[in-house]
């Protein structure tokens, strides 16, 4: 685990949600370390976004702002990479 990774049951549910158009951002509650893109999860394949160094609370705010501009996971990932 770690790096914003998910248990299998949660992963399957979120993969289905992402496939159906729901934005899914992986993040971690640990105080240090980034949730890196494509580290253990193929984010592009499943339509997930990696939060980078943002904790879940900050990632939620950035996702809310990103969703005012796009619903495309790749574009949302670019926004997360920028901030």
Tens of pLDDT, residue by residue over 31-69, are: 888 888 887 889 999 999 999 999 999 999 999 999 999
- Domain 8-82, CATH: 3.40.50.40
**Sequence-separated (6 or more) residues with CB below 8 Å from residue 28:** 2, 3, 4, 35, 51, 55, 56
**Longest Cα–Cα distance in the chain:** 32
Is the model's pLDDT at 1 over the cut of 70?
Answer: no
d(CA 71, CA 1): 28
């Amino acid at each position: 685990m770690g790096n914003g990774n998910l248990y299998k049951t949660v992963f399957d549910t979120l993969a289905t949600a992402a496939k159906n158009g729901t934005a899914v951002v992986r993040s971690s509650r640990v105080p240090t370390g980034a949730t890196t893109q494509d580290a253990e999860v193929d984010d592009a394949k499943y339509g997930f976004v990696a939060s980078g160094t943002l904790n879940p609370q900050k990632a939620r705010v950035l996702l809310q702002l990103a969703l005012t501009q796009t619903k495309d996971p790749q574009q949302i990932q670019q926004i997360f990479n920028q901030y």
